[in-house]
């Protein structure tokens, strides 16, 4: 699956691209947990799976499961740019339980926008806009800094639930920036370049089409600067955000991975299933999990 600059039918492309990876997962279950020979579904080798993937799959039950994990899954993690240590830990857990595969299946059945990779290398169409945006209004459990903030409905509902839990702990969350159109992001990036220079702008602002905010699921909490790390909101979100489906996008020490400097105020709604998946298998690093899912869904293009 590739959602690039010129893509225009994102939901349809994602649904089509999801067919092959799910078929591959079914084959994995058959091979990994069967005690008899495996008959592949008709047409799988010919066109349903990439040649390289089909060749990597063992076709008889007497092949060692550990070799399968090491050969196929380490290859998959390498394709996704996952660190060797992290890949090894996930592979080890897979030898003990099918939980990783089962949870991946659940994640893939979620809304495409929850796991869509949008970063410096993967862009949305400049005119892309969600069709379920709702306004963030005053009077709920969180505060707002402006009256024009919008999020996808699912993200807005999750924000209210999370903010209510924070308020119960004595922490008031304040939303400062939410959905941005591609045109608005172009204005912001141009301002960043004029104000800080291109090098710094690239570290702390996305080019148009490359911003998570355009998905309608990213939120910047107030204040949108380094001082946020010293507010009560910062540690509360680190400890609790994933319980409500939110994930920090640009953690400290991962600029080479994400392309952006530490932004403790920037969170993306990915849904509870994916948030748990990120924390459980990818050490809380959203970028690694989304890169893996992207690599998985791109297998149909080989």
Mean pLDDT score, 84-93: 89
Asked whether residue 30 carries a pLDDT value surpassing 60, the answer given is no
Q: Which regions of the chain carry the CATH code 3.30.1380.10?
A: 133-282
Q: Is 214 helix (H, G, I), strand (E, B) or coil?
A: helix
Among 42-56, 83-97, 260-274, where is mean pLDDT lowest?
A: 42-56
What is residue 97's predicted lDDT score, i.e. its pLDDT? 86
Task: Compute the distance between CA of residue 59 and CA of residue 40 in angstroms, rounded to an integer.
Answer: 8
What is residue 44's predicted lDDT score, i.e. its pLDDT? 36
Among 42-56, 61-75, 105-119, 134-148, where is mean pLDDT lowest?
A: 42-56
Asked whether residue 34 carries a pLDDT value surpassing 70, the answer given is no
Asked whether residue 120 carries a pLDDT value surpassing 80, the answer given is yes
Burial of 283 per CB tally in 10 Å (0-12, 13-18, 19+) = middle
User: Which segments within the chain are labelled E, that is strand?
Assistant: 133-135, 143-144, 150-152, 174-177, 218-221, 246-248, 266-269
Task: Compute the distance between CA of residue 289 and CA of residue 204 in angstroms, rounded to an integer.
Answer: 21
Among 88-102, 159-173, 231-245, 258-272, where is mean pLDDT lowest?
A: 88-102
Mean pLDDT score, 27-35: 50
Task: Compute the distance between CA of residue 14 and CA of residue 35 in angstroms, rounded to an integer.
Answer: 34
Residue 208, Cβ neighbours under 10 Å: how many?
21
Task: Please state the pTM of the whole predicted model.
Answer: 0.81
Q: pLDDT for 192-245, tens place per residue?
A: 999 999 999 999 999 999 999 999 999 999 999 999 999 999 999 999 999 999
What is residue 301's predicted lDDT score, i.e. its pLDDT? 54
- Residues with Cβ within 8 Å of residue 284, at least 6 apart in sequence: 242, 247, 248, 251, 278
Mean pLDDT score, 54-74: 59
pLDDT greater at residue 33 or residue 203: 203
User: Which segments within 190-297 are labelled E, that is strand?
Assistant: 218-221, 246-248, 266-269
Task: Output the six-digit token pair for 297.
Answer: 């869904």
Closest CA to 261 of 196, 216, 179: 196
Q: pLDDT for 129-164, tens place per residue?
A: 999 999 999 999 999 999 999 999 999 999 999 999
What is residue 63's predicted lDDT score, i.e. its pLDDT? 54
Asked whether residue 55 carries a pLDDT value surpassing 60, the answer given is no
Mean of per-residue pLDDT scores for the chain: 84
**133-282 to CATH, choices 3.10.150.10, 3.30.1380.10, 3.90.950.20, 3.20.20.370:** 3.30.1380.10
What is residue 29's predicted lDDT score, i.e. its pLDDT? 52
What is residue 32's predicted lDDT score, i.e. its pLDDT? 52
Task: Compute the distance between CA of residue 229 and CA of residue 292 in angstroms, rounded to an integer.
Answer: 29
């Amino acid at each position: 699956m590739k959602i690039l600059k010129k893509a225009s039918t994102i939901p349809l492309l994602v649904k089509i691209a999801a067919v092959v990876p799910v078929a591959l997962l079914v084959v994995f279950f058959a091979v990994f947990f069967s005690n008899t020979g495996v008959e592949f579904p008709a047409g799988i080798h010919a066109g349903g799976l990439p040649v390289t993937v089909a060749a990597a799959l063992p076709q008889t039950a007497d092949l060692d499961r550990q070799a399968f994990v090491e050969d196929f899954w380490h290859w998959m993690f390498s394709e996704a740019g996952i660190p060797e240590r992290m890949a090894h830990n996930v592979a080890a857990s897979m030898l003990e339980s099918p939980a990783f595969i089962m949870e991946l299946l659940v994640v893939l059945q979620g809304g495409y926008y929850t796991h869509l990779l949008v970063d410096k290398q993967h862009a949305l169409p400049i005119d892309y806009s969600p069709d379920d945006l709702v306004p963030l209004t005053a009077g709920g459990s969180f505060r707002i800094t402006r009256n024009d903030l919008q999020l996808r409905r699912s993200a807005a509902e999750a924000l209210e639930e999370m903010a209510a839990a924070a308020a119960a702990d004595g922490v008031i969350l304040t939303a400062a920036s939410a959905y941005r159109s591609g045109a608005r992001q172009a204005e912001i990036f141009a301002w960043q370049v004029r104000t800080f220079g291109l090098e710094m702008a690239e570290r702390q602002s996305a080019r148009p089409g490359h911003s998570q905010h355009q998905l309608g699921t990213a939120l910047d909490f107030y204040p949108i600067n380094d001082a946020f790390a010293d507010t009560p909101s910062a540690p509360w979100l680190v400890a609790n955000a994933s319980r409500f489906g939110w994930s920090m996008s640009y953690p400290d020490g991962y600029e080479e991975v994400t392309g952006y400097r530490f932004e403790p105020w920037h969170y993306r709604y990915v849904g509870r299933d994916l948030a748990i998946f990120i924390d459980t298998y990818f050490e809380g690093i959203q970028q690694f999990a989304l890169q893996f899912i992207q690599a998985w869904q791109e297998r149909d293009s080989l």
